[in-house]
Chains A and B, each alone.
Chain A
């Protein structure tokens, strides 16, 4: 349109040209079967030509034509001004009429743009009037826009998109000390849903009204009312998002102070909510929101990306800040699983975040999410190291009574068993870190056919955890006064560790060689136990007596009595001891029984000791041995009455 200005109507040639054009227009206008559109086009052109020549509009018929058309548009706008009903609710005819009127006025304004209004009072007056009509119409469009956005918004139920298949929740809120085996069942990793973001687009606005919104956007932006459009559009869509966030998803906002002071049980459930909300909001809601913006404002790149970022900003920042707060908090070992969950969720969504905030406007938020991922990874590593520290720091002055399985052993083994479901992520996290302190743990390079998993970073870290545990157990075992109980305790605990590893995915991380070695270890403790307990007791029954020279002189009867006493002493103590694993208990009893019963039977048989000198028959003794390691307080007399 600016081109009009270059035409100087004072030049004679140009005057002629315009006159000729006028003539052609008139001729064309006389054709009968012209479509309305064409006719309007010709009329527009006619007005342009009139304005270019400047003077004609003052008195010519064109001025009247312009005024007529303005008046027509004005009337329509004013009529709607008085009408309470919404145009877009009324019908498509009314809509196109209204938009047509705006378009017409806009065309007129544009055509005036080359004319110096100061020179031409008439044009100026028309321009004022046209602008006034546009202003009223725009106000109206804004109202219509909000009305449509509010009344045609759609929500999807969160269940619509089920992410729960991704991974069953790992619950780990047990305290460090007491822990039952059953409470931590490592959940199975279900293959991650191969998510293409396109799968999750939903309608946030009724698709039927999208073309209407597009038409309003076009009209408002064409009239340079883009700021007003953005304000209304962003505001309405923000409200919709807020409603979704706070009312439908029932999410809450927390200050960092809140999060840091939260009880662990509350925090872990909030973390789960965050994981869930991140997926729904980023993968589904905001992806769909962006799509909606594109549909409505696709033609206007800058406006489009600006609108989206403004709509989504508060929500992005809210999700971000919760993550920041969690990453800032203390890193007790229990938190590791939550941190890993958050890490995996964010890692999985990062590509989507990148594409949502691709443009300059949102780039700093995008970068912050990348930073958050790094921080969560760091916190997760720290929580892992905390476990090692906690194992080393776990010291008590009292030995665990009865030599059973220490809570620490249970805790650590259940903990690392659960860790294996995060193997990929953990390997990634450990690879980033230098692994200087784990090199000593790698054993048995000589072995053939070892799975590469046995040497992955996680495997190394797991073995370093169990070796820290072993060290801690050895320290704890020193608290026992009896050597025998010390061996029972170590046997029990190492056996437990081995069983846990053999019976789970941990097996491949530790490797067969490690397992063999540790089976050897607890068997060694079983042997040591037998030596420590029974060597002295059985010495009474030995013929050659190289255990003790003094017993040689005593009579067989006396030796038998002394053996009985010694056995009773052992019995009283060791029935209180505990071997929880039935198989292990059975094995130890059998081998003990073999040794003791064999020696006793031989002794009695060879020395022909009469029954009245014998307190226990061989059968009695065999039965009594069955009471061992039951962890009971039964007295000997009771047991005899059975």
Chain B
């Protein structure tokens, strides 16, 4: 679902109405209506992301499983849509001086600060996707080896090598997020040759890091630290959309950090600082609870990342390793049949990764640039206001 589909409809409406609002001095009602509409849209969009409840089976096409690549892409689309609507409400046609009045004079700089942290997270995730692509390639080796008919010792060994590398790489990443290494050096001599320089591994992880000592978990923490729901009269004013958008940003970034390998995730908070009674936030809270639960399980079990495709690789990889371990030449046909189902599933997962990962990377870049642009737009508005009051020198 392309993000532009949404924009055409409501952005146009809002801007037209906004102009009317400006002509009619201080039409507060209109503003309230816009805010309400925004909340409704947010609620609707996130509701669409929620997994269908088992009690009411939907008869439409099966939706993408939660935390799959396709699902994350939808999540990012939702983010882009919400951001566009948010800016339409807050900036378009509005007298800039309103933004410099309390409480926005404090809330907007805080939001811009969160934006910067989100940008670094986007970069960390882009790097993490590279790791996932590496896993995909290892799985593909196994698939192509085992798909050969008939398969004998040679293919089985080839597949096992790739699968072991895959499982080790995923476990390694998981255990030590800051140090995820691409195990490209197979075999003892190669490993010895590559490992003779002790710093090589460090350099390798550094090249895929955001910066030294950067931690995704800390960034998420910093993003949520000063996020407080507006109360009293503020709750119906412009503080509300700022809060909503910041919450969405936090949720999207948190979800990506939990799902895709990235630098230093240990200690990632599972608490979501959003009051449960907020209507627009219901779906987000629901999704958050679900993902947090998965995250806790993952931390306990020490399994691979939450990305649905990675979990598949992990599960299928393990089972195929078992198969290759017990493989005796010549292969019993039954056994081979048993494996072929797993193999087909692994192949299908690889295909989905092949189709989805690069577009996801490109989309994250799009989110990155959108945040940069939004931030610049707000800075421009603040700048306009600043000029009249503060003197730089």
Chain A residues packing against B (C-beta within 8 Å) = 84, 86, 117, 124, 127-136, 138-140, 142-147, 150-151, 176-177, 224, 227-228, 230-232, 234-236, 238-239, 241-243, 245-247, 252-258, 260, 313-315, 317-318, 321, 324, 328, 364, 368, 371, 389-390, 393-396
Question: Are B365 and A255 within 8 A (Cβ)?
Answer: no
B-side interface size class:
35 or more
Q: Find residues 171-191 in chain B having any chain A CB closer than 8 Å to their own CB.
A: 182, 184-190
Q: Contact flags (1/0) for B100-141 with A, using CB distance below 8 Å? A: 000000000000000011011001001100100010011011
Please state if A243 and B330 are interface contacts (CB–CB under 8 Å). no
* CB nearest to A330 among chain B residues: B379
Alpha-carbon separation in the docked complex, A177 to B392 (Å):
11
CB neighbors of A among B208-238 (8 A) = 208-212, 214, 219
Across-interface contacts of A227 in B (CB, < 8 A): 137, 140-141, 144
For this complex, 30 residue pairs linking A to B, each with C-beta atoms less than 8 Å apart, are: A124-B150, A129-B152, A131-B152, A131-B154, A135-B158, A136-B157, A143-B188, A144-B189, A146-B193, A150-B194, A228-B186, A232-B190, A235-B182, A235-B184, A236-B184, A246-B206, A246-B207, A255-B120, A256-B123, A257-B116, A257-B117, A313-B130, A317-B127, A324-B372, A328-B372, A328-B376, A393-B391, A394-B391, A394-B393, A395-B391
- List residues of chain A with CB within 8 A of the CB of B119: 256
> Smallest CB-CB separation from A125: which chain B residue?
B330
Q: Is the CB of A368 within 8 A of B184?
A: no
User: What is the bound-complex CA distance between A130 and B150, given in angstroms?
Assistant: 12
| Residues of B contacting A224 in the complex (Cβ-Cβ under 8 angstroms) | 144
Question: B39 to nearest A CB, angstroms?
Answer: 30
The smallest beta-carbon distance between B29 and chain A, in angstroms, is 37
| B365 and A368 contacting across the interface, CB-CB below 8 Å | yes
Chain B nearest CB from A391 CB (Å) reads 10
Contact B365 A232 (CB under 8 A): no
Q: Is the CB of B154 within 8 A of A151?
A: no
Q: B393: which of A133, A144, A177 is its contact (CB, 8 Å)? A: A177
Interface centre among B123, B154, B199, B219 (most CB of A within 10 A): B154
Closest to B140 in A: A227
* Interface contact tally, CB-CB below 8 A: 165
Contact call B152/A142, Cβ cutoff below 8 A:
no
Q: In whole angstroms, what is the CA distance A199 to B375 when docked? A: 42
Q: How far, in whole Å, are A134 and B185 apart by their CA atoms in the complex?
A: 19
Choose among A236, A254, A317, A390 the residue that contacts B126 (Cβ–Cβ < 8 A).
A317
- Chain A residue contacts of B126, Cβ below 8 A: 317
Task: Give the chain A neighbours of B324 by CB distance below 8 A.
Answer: none
The 8 Å CB contact of B207, one of A84, A228, A238, is: A238
Q: Is B322 an interface residue (CB 8 A)?
A: no
CA distance A245 to B127 in the complex (A): 17
B336 at the A/B interface (Cβ < 8 Å)?
A: no
The docked-state distance in angstroms from the alpha carbon of A151 to that of B192 is 12
Query: CA–CA, A236 to B376, complex, Å?
Result: 40
Q: Which residue of A lies closest to B158 (CB)?
A: A135
Contact A255 B210 (CB under 8 A): yes
Contact B203 A243 (CB under 8 A): yes
Is there an interface contact between B185 and A235, defined as CB atoms closer than 8 Å?
A: yes
Q: Are B203 and A246 in contact (CB under 8 A)?
A: yes
With A147-B193, A150-B193, A313-B130 as given contacts, are A256 and B120 in contact (CB-CB < 8 Å)?
yes
Residue B161 lies at the interface, judged by CB distance under 8 Å to chain A: yes
Shortest beta-carbon distance from B260 to chain A in Å: 16
Cβ proximity bits B9-28 to A, threshold 8 Å, 1 near / 0 not: 00000000000000000000
Q: Which residues of chain B come closer than 8 Å to A252, judged between CB atoms? A: 211-212
Shortest A478–chain B CB gap in Å is 17
Per the bound structure, the CA–CA distance linking A130 and B204 in Å amounts to 36
B387 interface residue (CB < 8 Å to A) = yes
B68 contacts the other chain (CB 8 A): no
> Chain A residues near B148 (CB, 8 Å)?
131
Residue contact B185 to A254, C-beta cutoff 8 Å: no
**Residue with the greatest number of chain A CB neighbours at <10 A, chosen from B187, B190, B365, B387:** B190
In the complex with contacts A127-B152, A132-B157, A242-B204, A142-B393 CB distance below 8 A: no
Q: Which residues of A contact B153 (CB under 8 A)?
A: 128, 131-132, 135
